[in-house]
Amino acid sequence: MNNLFVYLEIEDGKVQDVSLELLTKGRSLANQLKCQVEAVAVGTKLDKIGAQVFPYGVDVLHTFDDARLTPYTSLPHTAVLVKLFGEEKPQIALMGATNIGRDLGPRVSSALFSGLTADCTALEIGDHEEKKEGKTYTNLLYQIRPAFGGNIVATIVNPENRPQMATVREGVMKKEILDANYKGKTVAHDVKQYVSDTDFVVSVIERHIEASKVNIKGAPIIVAGGYGLGSKENFQLLHDLANTIGAEVGASRAAVDAGYAEHERQIGQTGITVRPKLYIACGISGQIQHIAGMQESSMIIAINNDPNAPINTIADYVITGDVEVVVPKMVKFYKKNSK
């Protein structure tokens, strides 16, 4: 009872990275709280899930196996979590800030009247005092997230209601195996006790989901462009540089909104968080919401014609000049000097 729960996202029998990252974070929070980590798998053909999640320090895996539970639809998965959480009374429940987690989380939180914080960038354990009521709460989950377009960072707590729920985007937490031989137990539940036929009110009649071809999260070098590039054509320059030096192309939210780059390339608080060894920021002014997603890069080169661009303050190298001039030169001199 009162353990930490993680909802597992499963695609083609594979537990998604975002869930494994949450298990890693969940394990360390659970150690602080001296509680167990429990994972919930809802779908079908779940016999290989345990082997994937136990090494992350999962003590109990709850499985709900029914062919109708794949692909995901809102109501049946909600019904499972609402009843399971009612029985198990988790103190914390985490899920990915993905299409699924952001559909499921709010619905579950509404049904349980428990607070949910979306898109957390950090989760910590700490105490809280409600001065008005003179009450002190110990060991609450601090749900830390940027707000207001990333201009402020808010720490949210849920003093009274359980579970304390939070969603986290992929890449924000690190994924780390705890112990390859960690032993957890599996509890297979009877789906009929949790989901009624009337929950299957929405059906998926077509589905085309592909694993992303863009591998920004794992790329050691990222060339990223911002609104300052001015056009989709100029973005091609970044692809040229990326192809030359073996990098992946990323983009700021403003560049994606302007149609210069695809959504899956968006880096920042509302996109992907990256930690490459080299980040080349081209025509990116450095709005906080972007910086939040790349500040942990080992080395940052900022190319900008504005010498006062905010991104310059976190860059190791600042090149003041036009991207259209500098980037082709980088291509040229790389070709000249590499073997």
Partner 1 sequence: MGFKIIVLAKQVPDTRNVGKDAMKEDGTVNRAALPAIFNPEDLLALEQALRLKERYAGTTVTLLTMGPPRAEEIVREGLFRGADGGYLLTDRAFAGADTLATSYALSTAIKKIGKFDIILSGRQAIDGDTAQVGPQVAEKLGIPQITYAANVVSAEGGEITVVRRLEGGVEVAKGKLPMLITVSDAAPECRPRNAKLVLRHKKGTAATEWSAADVDADPQQCGLSGSPTKVKAIESVVFQAKESKTLDSSDQAIEELIVELITNHTIG
Backbone angles phi, psi at 61, to 5 degrees: -110, 120
Give the closest residue to 288 by CA, choosing from 305, 307, 309: 309
> Which of 6, 222 has the CB closer to partner 1?
222
Query: What is the C-alpha to C-alpha distance for residues 222 and 238, in angstroms, rounded to an integer?
Result: 10
Query: What is the C-alpha to C-alpha distance for residues 81 and 74, in angstroms, rounded to an integer?
Result: 11
Query: Is 115 a residue that touches partner 1 (CB under 8 A)?
Result: yes
Query: Is 159 a residue that touches partner 1 (CB under 8 A)?
Result: yes
Query: Is 215 a residue that touches partner 1 (CB under 8 A)?
Result: no
Q: Which of 3, 63, 91, 287 binds partner 1 (CB under 8 A)?
A: 287
Q: Which of 118, 125, 178, 258 binds partner 1 (CB under 8 A)?
A: 118
Q: State the minimum distance, in angstroms, from the CB of residue 237 to partner 1.
A: 14
Q: State the minimum distance, in angstroms, from the CB of residue 207 to partner 1.
A: 5
Give the closest residue to 114 by CA, choosing from 5, 16, 28, 193: 5
> Which of 181, 308 has the CB closer to partner 1?
308
Q: C-alpha distances in angstroms, 70 versus 206, 210, 230?
A: 13, 16, 42
Region 133-152 residues binding partner 1, contact defined as CB under 8 A: 142-143, 146-152
Handedness of CA 229, 232, 233, 236 (dihedral sign): positive
CB 95 within 8 A of CB 105: yes
Q: Which of 102, 189, 217, 239 binds partner 1 (CB under 8 A)?
A: 102
Query: Is 80 a residue that touches partner 1 (CB under 8 A)?
Result: no
List of residues 6+ apart from 330 with CB closer than 8 A: 241, 245
Region 240-269 residues binding partner 1, contact defined as CB under 8 A: 245-247, 254, 257, 264, 269
Give the torsion through C-alpha atoms of 240, 263, 222, 118, to 10 deg.
Answer: 170
The interface mask with partner 1, positions 165-194, x = CB under 8 A, is: ------------------------------
Give the torsion through C-alpha atoms of 265, 8, 49, 15, to 10 deg.
Answer: 0
Query: Is 158 a residue that touches partner 1 (CB under 8 A)?
Result: yes
Query: What is the C-alpha to C-alpha distance for residues 274 and 293, in angstroms, rounded to an integer?
Result: 6
Q: Which of 107, 175, 189, 239 binds partner 1 (CB under 8 A)?
A: 107
**# of chain residues touching partner 1 (CB under 8 A):** 96
Q: C-alpha distances in angstroms, 311 versus 145, 209, 268, 294?
A: 20, 35, 13, 11
> Which of 134, 307 has the CB closer to partner 1?
307
The interface mask with partner 1, positions 320-339, x = CB under 8 A, is: xxx--xx--xx--xx-xxx-
The interface mask with partner 1, positions 17-56, x = CB under 8 A, is: ----------------------------------------
Span near partner 1 by CB under 8 A; candidates 20-28, 33-41, 177-185, 295-303 = 295-303
> Which of 33, 111 has the CB closer to partner 1?
111
Query: Is 161 a residue that touches partner 1 (CB under 8 A)?
Result: yes
Query: Is 196 a residue that touches partner 1 (CB under 8 A)?
Result: no
CB 104 within 8 A of CB 77: yes
Q: Which of 202, 215, 218, 232 binds partner 1 (CB under 8 A)?
A: 202
Query: Is 70 a residue that touches partner 1 (CB under 8 A)?
Result: no
List of residues 6+ apart from 118 with CB closer than 8 A: 97, 102, 105, 145, 166, 167
Region 217-236 residues binding partner 1, contact defined as CB under 8 A: 221
Give the torsion through C-alpha atoms of 184, 165, 154, 299, to 10 deg.
Answer: 40
- How is residue 280 written in tokens? 């080349």
